[in-house]
Structure 1
Amino acid sequence: MTPALASANNGNWQTARRWAAMLRSAYRVDLADHWSAGDEALMIALHARRSAASTDAWRSAHPKRPLLLVLTGTDLYRDIAFDTDAQRALRQADALVVLNTLGARSLPPGLRGKAHVILQSCAARAPQARTQRHLRALMVGHLRDEKDPRTYWRAAQRLASRPDILLDHVGAALDPLLGAEAAGLAAGLAQFRWLGGLPHGEVRRRIQAAHVLVHASRMEGGAHVLIEAMRSGTPVLASRIDGNTGLLGEDYPGLFEPGDDSALAALLERARDDLDMLPDLMARLAPRASRFAPEAERSALHDLVGGLLASRRNELMP
C-alpha cells in the first residue's frame, strides 16, 4: 500500500515498485494507493501519516494479521512528533522499517524494538569517463521545501564567477513558486540548468555522467538518489542529516550543514580545484556500495516478511 503510484515518479513509488518486484517470486502482491477491504495475509504500508486511513481499516478488519509500516523521511523527522494519525500507525504496526542505519533513534524509545533497517538498492553501473574541462554537479529532487533546493541555488549564485563549475538540477516543480525561482535562476545564470522532471532511466544516466551529486535535503528517510550515485561511481556532497549520514557514514568528509550554501559552494570549488578530492570521496564510498546491492535488500525484505507471516501461522496453530 503506497500513497504514491507511478505517476508521482518519486522515491516512495520507486520503493513500492521495487519491493513488489522482489516479493513476487514468493507471494502474490497487489500495489494500491489505498486499501479496499480484502483477504490479504499481510499489509506493507509506506508512509505512516498518508497511509493512516488504510492502516486503520486494515487493523479493524484484520486485528491479528501482520502490518509492516515503512517510514519515510517526513514520518521520522517531522510527522511522528505531532501527528496523531502517524503516531497511531506506529503503534498499530507489528514491524517498522527504517531506510537508513540511524533511523530508529528518531522513534519513541518504546517502539524502537519494532524497528528493522532495510537499505534500499539499485543495480551497479560502471563509472563514466568525465571531462576535465569543467566540473558538472547534479542535484536530483523534485522541487519542494523538504529537498531544500534553494541551498543548491544559492550555492550556484555564489559560483557565478566560476564558468568551469556547471550545476544541473533535475526535478519537477511540485511547488509552483520554487518552479518559478528555478526558471528565473536558469534564465539569469549561464552555469545553471533546471531540467525539470525526467524519466528514471534518464536520471540514472545523468547521475552516472556527473562529476558529483549534490543532495541538500532537510529531511530524508534514506535517499535513493545517494544509493544510485554510490552504485554509479559518482561522489556525493550531502547535508549532514541522519537520512544522509545513515547511508554515507557519520564521518564522511563530503558533508555540509543543512542550509549552508556557503559551505556547499566551498566544497564545489574544492572539488574542481583539488584533483584529489573527488577520488578520495569515492574511495570512502566504494566499500559501502555492496550494502546497497539488490540481493542484500531482497534478502532483508524476504526475511522480515517471511518472519511476520511465520509468526502469524504459529499463533494460529492449536
Structure 2
Amino acid sequence: MDIIILTPASPGSKAGNRATAERWQMLLEQVGHKVSIVTEYNGETCDLFLALHAWRSHTAVRLFREIWPEKPLLVALTGTDVYRHQHEFPEQTLYSMQVADVLIGLHDQVANDIPEGLRSKVITLFQSAEKPAELSLKGSKESLYFDVCVIGHLRDEKDSLRAAMAARLLPTNSRIRVSCAGKPHNERWDMLAKQELQQNPRFRWLGELEKNAIAQLMADSELLVMSSVMEGGANVVSEACRAGLPIIASNISGNVGLLGEDYAGYYPVGDTQALVEVLKRAENDSEFVEFLREQVEQLASRFTPEEERESLEQALSLAMRRSPRNIL
C-alpha cells in the first residue's frame, strides 16, 4: 500500500513521535509498503493514512476524512491525547478518535482510559527497541557510584527531576548518583535543571544525547527511573527492558500498561519520599535489583521489532476491513 504517516515532529527532531514515525516507516517498508512521513497534510491521495496524535493532528485528520471518506484511517494515541487533551480539547481530540477506523494504543491500559464507545477500536502496539550491542558494562570496573539514569526531554509530563529530588534526601553514605539525559522543554526547565546542578551534588545533567550515548548510559547504570505523571507508552521503557536494565517507575497507567500489574518496581506517582525508600532498597538489596532485572528481561520479548511489525500489520489489516469502502 501507499501509506502516509503524519507526525507533528519535524525531520531531525529527537522527539519520541518522530522516532516512532521513522521506525514505523522502516518496519512497513520491510514488508513492501511505500511510506511517506509528513508534518503537514494537504489532501494528497494514499491507500491508508496514519496520524500520530489525535489532538495535534486533528486538522489533517478532518481534511483527510472529508476528501477521502472511504479510505482507511488510523490514529495513534499519545499520552497527552489520552490523559490531557481529550479532557482539555474534547471536540478536536474526540473527533479524531471517532472518525478513525482503528486507534493504536501504545500500552495495554489505553482502552480503559478513553470513552467506552471508542474502546472497541483500540489495538495495542508495544513500541520496539533494538537489543543493544555489547558495551563496556557496569560492573566491569569498580565504581564510586550507584548510578541511576533518567532519560527523556525535561518537561512537566515526565516529572523529570523527581529522582534528583529524592537523591537529595538519601543518607549521607549513599553512593547513588542521578544522571539525567534530555533536552529542556522550555526556559523554565532549563533553569530548573541548572539550579539542580548547582544545589545537588548527587545530580548530573548530560543534556540531549545521541542514540549510542544513551545506550552507554544505560549500560553504565544500575537502574532507570521512569517518573512520569502521564505516558502513552514510553519507548525508553522498551529500550530498558531490551537492555536488561531494571526500572523504578511511577504507578501510572502508561507504565503499568507496559510493565504489568505484578511488576515490583513501582512507587506512587509524584511521591518523593516513596521514591527515596525504593532507591534506598535498591542500593542496599541486590536481590531486589536482580528480581527487577529478571522481570524486565522476561518482558523484553514483547518489545522486539518483529512483534511491533506484526502489530502494525494487524492494525493496517483491521483498518482496511473497517474502512467505509469495505463496509458498503
TM-score band by shorter chain is over 0.9
CA distance in 2, matches of 1:156, 1:8: 31
Question: Take 1:186 and 1:160, find their aligned partners in 2: how far apart are those partners?
Answer: 19
Comparing 238-247 with 73-82, greater Cα deviation is found at 73-82
2:234 maps to 1:223? yes
CA distance in 1 between counterparts of 2:88 and 2:184 reads 27
Matched, 1:61 2:67: yes
Task: Note if 1:74 corresponds to 2:85.
Answer: no
User: Structure 1: how far apart are the matches of 2:174 and 2:298?
Assistant: 33
In 2, Cα distance between equivalents of 1:211 and 1:313: 51
The one-letter code sitting in structure 1 at the alignment partner of 2:253 is D
Aligned to 1:304: 315
Report SS of the residue matched to 1:53: helix
The amino acid of 2:96's aligned partner reads A
Once the two structures are overlaid, the 10-residue window that deviates more, 255-264 or 184-193, is 184-193
Q: Distance in 2 between matches of 1:57 and 1:41?
A: 15
Match of 1:197 in 2: 208
Task: Pick the aligned partner of 1:165 from 173, 176, 182.
Answer: 176
Deviation at 1:200, TM superposition (A): 2.4
After superposition, the C-alpha distances for 1:223-261 in whole angstroms (9 at most, x for unaligned) are 111110110010000000010011111121110111111
Q: How far apart are residue 316 of structure 1 and its match?
A: 8.6
**Counterpart code for 1:79:** H
Q: 1:103-118, aligned counterparts within 5 Å?
A: 103-118=110-125
In 2, the alpha carbon distance for the partners of 1:54 and 1:162 equals: 55
1:41 maps onto 2:35 in alignment: no
Distance 1:15 1:162, change over 3 A: farther
Q: Is residue 208–residue 229 contact of structure 1 (8 Å, CA) maintained in 2?
A: no
- 3-state SS of the aligned residue for 1:50? coil
Q: Which amino acid aligns with 2:178?
A: L
| Alignment pair present for 1:288 and 2:293 | no
For 2:108, the equivalent position in structure 1 comes to 101
Match of 2:3 in 1: none
What's 2:219 paired with?
208
Unaligned segments of structure 2, at least 5 residues: 1-5
Runs ≥4 residues deviating over 3 A: 309-314
Specify the SS of the correspondent of 2:50: strand
Which residue of structure 1 lines up, in the alignment, with residue 258 of structure 2?
Answer: 247
TM-score (norm 1): 0.94
Deviation at 1:134, TM superposition (A): 2.5
Q: Give the total of aligned pairs.
A: 317
Partner AA of 2:295 in structure 1: R
Match of 2:20 among 15, 19, 22: 15
Cα RMSD between the aligned structures?
1.8
Q: Which moved more, 1:128-137 or 1:307-316?
A: 307-316
Q: Which secondary structure state, in structure 2, belongs to the residue aligned with residue 31 of structure 1?
A: strand
What is the rounded CA distance, in whole Å, between the counterparts of 2:301 and 2:218 in structure 1? 18
Which residue type is aligned with residue 8 of structure 1? S
User: Paired residue for 1:149?
Assistant: 160
Deviations 1:154-202 (A, max 9, x none): 1122137245111100110112112111112112222210111112232
Question: Could you tell me whether the CA contact under 8 Å between 1:160 and 1:189 is conserved in 2?
Answer: no
Quote the offset at 1:36 in angstroms: 1.9
Q: C-alpha offsets along residues 53-112 of structure 1, whole Å, 9 cap, x if unaligned?
A: 110110111011111000000111111124111111111101000000111101100110
